A = this chain, B = another copy of it.
Amino acid sequence: MLEILRVGTVAHVGVVTDWGPLVLPMVYGITDDTMYLHGALANSLLGAAADMDICATVTIVDGLVFAKTPFNHSMNYRSVVVRGRARLVTDKDEVLRSLQLMTDHVVPTWNVMRHPSPSDIRATRVVALSLDEMSAKVRTGGAVNDDEDESAPYWSGYVPLTARLGQPVSNDDAGDGIPTQVQNLVGQDIHARSHLDG
């Protein structure tokens, strides 16, 4: 399950509001036992989520599965659901550590950037979620057709889907060249993430 979380891109985080459930995408990072969540989009969510039960779901869609009838259509995917009580991170060292985790989760670039200032850290809201309660579902392979469809003259199978990283586009104010870690992404599948190990 950690391996799925390690290669996922965004978490869809659900909280209960006065108006019912709300689900928003957020960036995240993990240790072996904790998930850190962050996102400007989700600052209001983060405010509401502290000390509340939340659910963070990470899904990687790996393929489209075509059966001989739509009833048996499916997708190949890896998905992890983490549930628990959100904890607002207030310790400055833990905020800093979580920012490094969330940065390096996507691409390990912490060492080629300006590190957060004390005021950056004060302005950053991060929520921690224990990985104690999590479950995973994984589907792979082709379609499962009904027995009655076995000889039916329809195609079935699957089409793989990969999240492919393209050529970096530099900011006008970008100093220096493109870091090796970023340049190495070109053409990679972000959900395979071999560049994280290299």
Residues of A within 8 A of B (CB): 9-10, 12-16, 19-25, 27, 40-41, 52-57, 59, 61, 63-64, 66-71, 73-75, 77, 79, 81, 83, 99-100, 102-103, 106-107, 109-110, 112-117, 120, 123-124, 137, 142-143, 145, 149-179, 182, 185-186, 190
CA distance A176 to B68 in the complex (A): 11
| B residues less than 8 Å from A142 (CB atoms) | 169-172
**How far in angstroms is the closest Cβ of chain B from A78?**
10
CB pair A19–B83 under 8 Å, yes or no, is yes
- Subset of 17 A-B contacts with CB under 8 Å: A14-B14, A14-B55, A20-B55, A22-B81, A24-B79, A68-B114, A68-B175, A69-B116, A70-B110, A113-B154, A142-B169, A143-B171, A155-B174, A156-B173, A159-B168, A159-B185, A160-B167
Take A161-B164, A190-B161 as given contacts and tell me if A149 and B182 are in contact as well, using a CB distance cutoff of 8 Å.
no
CA distance A170 to B167 in the complex (A): 32
| B residues less than 8 Å from A109 (CB atoms) | 66
Please tell me which one of the listed residues B55, B75, B150 contacts residue A27 in the complex, with CB atoms under 8 A apart.
B75
| B residues less than 8 Å from A151 (CB atoms) | 173, 175
CA distance A24 to B59 in the complex (A): 9
CB pair B155–A75 under 8 Å, yes or no, is no
CA distance A100 to B79 in the complex (A): 25
